Every structure is written in structure tokens, then in C-alpha cells.
Amino acid sequence: MPQLRLALNQIDSRVGDLAGNTETILRWTRHSAEQGAHLVAFPEMALTGYPVEDLALRSSFVEASRAALRELAARLAEEGFGELPVVVGYLDRSESAQPKFGQPPGAPRNAGAVLHRGEVVLTYAKHHLPNYGVFDEFRYFMPGDTMPVVRVHGIDVALAICEDLWQDGGRVPAARSAEAGLLLSINASPYERDKDDTRLELVRKRAQEAGCTTAYLAMMGGQDELVFDGDSIVVDKDGEVVARAPQFSEGCVVLDLDLPAASVDAPTARDGVANGQRVDDGLRIDRVVLSEDPLPAYQPELTGAYADRLDDAEEVYSALVVGLRAYVAKNGFSSVLIGMSGGIDSALVAAIACDAVGAQNVYGVSMPSKYSSEHSKGDAAEMARRTGLNFRTVPIEPMFDAYMGSLGLTGLAEENLQSRLRGTMLMAISNQEGHIVLAPGNKSELAVGYSTLYGDSVGAYGPIKDVYKTWIFRLAQWRNKAAAERGQTPPIPENSITKPPSAELRPGQVDTDSLPDYPVLDGILELYVDRDQGADAIVAAGYDRELVVKTLRMVDTAEYKRRQYPPGTKISAKGFGKDRRLPITNGWRESV
């Protein structure tokens, strides 16, 4: 069998940074070449970053992407990599599409290209366009209609992009029809909890359907609310794993593959007709031959490796760290500011921040009021001592008394005033010192509106925005356990984990004064928010009807608050934001 050394580079790209992404691709191509690679690949839209959203509708950006691709091809040749085929994702446009009502202006395409000898020798566009969850690709792109195949050292390599594997039909069966020896899919598949298992089973299934070894190359890093976890996978034609890359780690997987030789009878017509038939889904074969002859036989040195899988808590925590780190760095900041109450939410956010940007770049502020307990003030200070983050205390009582003297507020207005004074103080420090503020709200609180607009909701980013309260406890316990296992000081004070959660805005207040116990609340919310179940279905799952109706009403009436909450790392299948789009003005209520 012919041999091929494949290099899969799961890299982190920044949206819009064409120059920076080009340098990253050049650097990792150099690394791949040093490892003796014969074919090098980079993720979906690696050159532009992903997702580009409405940038795809700007002709200036589309043309800049196309120009950057040509420049990249030339640079690769200039640096001595011209003979090394490189597959890279970028933003393109259709040359033939005519303007038409209902299609994206300018006919942009989510595309891939093969670069060789200083030229762009083959281009192709994603065939299946996702239009669910966070994806709006029908809004942005024109679908591809070819089955791209590149022959490298006597091996036919079929090419696909992300959703081409997630949906049935299209390029997977077409790869079999084209008699490919390798199916290479470049991807920017966002992280979700438990998605790694789903992804593995998908790749196994598609390899069996394509009848060839299948390589699934994934992006790594973060972009706004999305996190990309890497976890690139290579399986053989029977679905057996050949190699699997680490999660949440930028790097290169290089492995030697024995692959079938290209058939002399393989469909070759560029019009896509093979033996009188078009390949599956009407795709036209677009085949380019770069090197017909197989490589001289060599002793395989890189047979692949299987990186250890992270357990559930470590996986989620790693996603939160990567998401925050990417948001801070890619937006040009270096330090973060957190209001530290001594509670578990702000403690977990502080721990994540220390791991993401370094404790020396984390600034915590304790802002006690007359209702703040001594243990809470002590827990905040203890957290700072354990982690080494920068810490100060600024009481809000003088400001609070001034407002109360002028307004005479009572009840909820008095409680919310304390939160808003803290928000104002955080933003003032942010303006003065240049740190970005992190909002500490969790998914349970955001779901039912248990937060104060312009108070605890202020900030540039919400690291735990998509994490239910029950998971907050689980992550805090995991982080402390992981530190202890490494011989380090657990960062989160045990009292912050074990004491009853409280906003401490009135004497003796605890969260359960207003909310059900969190395990019960989160169970209802997961059914309603994440799975779109109605009241009757949730009651049938074993929850009290009165409690269900009350909870669902809180969720429905808090939509206006969630719209004003900052972005935050998405770790579930349905986070607040693009995943879940409901009207603010909404007369529909679940049955009572």
C-alpha cells in the first residue's frame, strides 16, 4: 500500500486577523515539514477565524481573505514548502452565482483550498450548511456542489468541511463513489458538554460509510462565546481509532498511514460524471493530481497516539478557562476585575480567571455593606491569600447611606441599590485602571432573573453564564481536589462551597427564600431551557406542578434581563443567546 505522513494542525485562529492567522499557519506548516509530513491540514476557516458572522457579507473582507490565501500560497513556496500540499479553510465567494433574492449578497462561501507550489490548485465550499443552534450558515454562505479530490503520492484524498460529516448524504457517500483512500474533514466544531463522545461515534460511522480512513481535524481556542476543544480524530475504514489529539490544547498530530492506491478506474471527469452517473447528491467530482507516483517505501515512525480523555468536570472547567483566556487576549486586554463576595460564584470565577490569565493579572474587590457577614468578608480575603490575586476592600456603606438619605428606598429597591452601587464601583475601577470586569452570574440565576440589572450583571464577560448552580459546586470541588492532588493549595475556601448561597442584601437572606433548592430548580430548568419541554411534560417527569408553573413564569419574564447580560462561555447544547432566541414581548405562557 502507498504511504502518507499526515499532519493535522489543531490551531487557534482569531476572527479577522488575516495577518496573524497567516503567520500561525506558516509556523505550524514549518513544524509539520520538520516532522516529515507529506500532507498538511488546518481547520475550517483557519485563515479568517470562525465564525466570521456578518463579516461574510462584506465584499471587502471576502476579497481580503482571497488575497490572503494567494499570499499564503506564495509565502509557503518562498519559505521552501512549495512541494508540500497544504489544506486550509478560508472565506471565498462563488464566481458563478448570480444575485438572487434570498441568497446572501456577494455569494460568500465557507471554503477550503489546497495550496501547492505557490499556487491555489483546488478550492471547494462546504456542501451542507448548518442552520441550527449558534449556526446561521444559510444566512451567510452558498453551498458547494463539488466532490473535491486531490491525489497526493498516488493516494486519492477526498475533502470535506465540518457539517459535511454531521449530515447524512453528500460528500461522505460521494467519497466512496470517488474511490478515495482518505477522507479529510476540516472543522470548527464548537465545544458542548459530552460532545466528544458524540463526535467520536460520528467519525466512526462516517468512515465506515465512506469506506476509507477518515481524519477529522478540529479547531482549538475561543471566539466570543464559543470554545473549540481540539480533539482531532483519525479512524480507519472499519471505524477503529488510529489517533486522537488532546482536548483544549493547540498542537499538531503527525502520523504515518498505509492507504489504498488510487484506482486506475477511479472517476476522473471534472464534470462529475462517472460511468454515466453523477456522484451522490449531484456533486461533481473535482479532481486534481499533484503527485501520481507513490512514495518509496519507508519504515513508519509515527503510528498515532490516543490522548487521555478528561473527566466531565475537568473538561467543563478547561472549556471555561480557554474561553475566558481567549476573550481577554483576543480583545487586547491583560487583566480582569472581579467583585468578590466570599460566595461560591465569585470564588469560582476568580479561580477560573487565575488559571486563565495568571493570578498577578486578576484584581478582586470586596465591597461589603452593613448586611455582609464576617465570614463572607473573610472568605473573600482567604481566596485572595490562597491564589495570590490582587485584593482590596472598599465598603459601600457610605455611598449607600447617601442614596438612602436622598431617596428613602425600601424592600427590593433597597436591596438592588446595593448591587448597583457595587456595579458602579467595579466599572469606575475598570475605567480608571484598565481591567475588564467579569460578571459572576450563573445559568440558574440568569434563567429565573435572580440578578440585578446594572448591578451584578455588569461586566464585559460572564465566565459561568452557561453553568447551572449544581455544576458550580461540582466544578469548585473538582478544582480544589485537582490542586490537592498536585500538592498545591486548593484555591477556593471550603466555607465558600459549604455555606448556604446568599446575596446578603438583607438580614439573614438565603437564596432558598426566593428559589427552590438548586438541584430541583436546575432539573426543571434543564427540561425547559435546554430541552424545550412544556409544563405538562416537566410535571410528568416528577416535578410539582405549582413549582413548575412558578419557575417557568420567572424564566419567561426575565428575558429582557438576559438580553442585557454580557457574553459568556457556552458549554451546553443550548446556552442563553444565539442558541435560544425568544421574544421579550411574549404573551404565551405554559398551561397552569
Residues with a known catalytic role: 44, 126, 162
Q: Are 337 and 430 in contact (CB under 8 A)?
A: yes
**Alpha-carbon distance 379 to 495, whole Å?**
7
**Alpha-carbon distance 190 to 571, whole Å?**
9
Cell digits for 189? Answer: 466544531
What DSSP string runs through 365-397?
A: EE---TT--HHHHHHHHHHHHHH--EEEE---H
Q: Are 237 and 206 in contact (CB under 8 A)?
A: no
At 329, phi and psi to the nearest 5? -70, -45
Q: Is 580 exposed, middle or buried (0-12, 13-18, 19+ CB in 10 A)?
A: middle
CA distances from 317 to 348, 382, 470, 474, 483 (A): 10, 22, 14, 10, 13
Q: Are 441 and 456 in contact (CB under 8 A)?
A: yes
Which one-letter amino acid corresponds to residue 61? F
Cell digits for 57? Answer: 457579507
Q: What crossing angle do the helices spanning 18-34 and 59-78 adopt, rounded to 10°?
A: 30
**Alpha-carbon distance 83 to 7, whole Å?**
15
**Alpha-carbon distance 527 to 536, whole Å?**
11
Query: Considering only CA atoms, which of 76, 79, 7, 77 is closest in space to residue 37?
Result: 7
Cα torsion 559, 565, 570, 572: sign: negative
**Alpha-carbon distance 495 to 382, whole Å?**
10
Q: To which residue does cell 503527525 refer?
A: 254
| Cα atoms in the 13 Å half-sphere on the side-chain side of 128 | 19
Q: What crossing angle do the helices spanning 312-330 and 469-485 adopt, rounded to 10°?
A: 90
Q: Are 96 and 39 in contact (CB under 8 A)?
A: no
**Alpha-carbon distance 590 to 592, whole Å?**
7
Angle (nearest 5°) at CA 8 between 5 and 14: 155
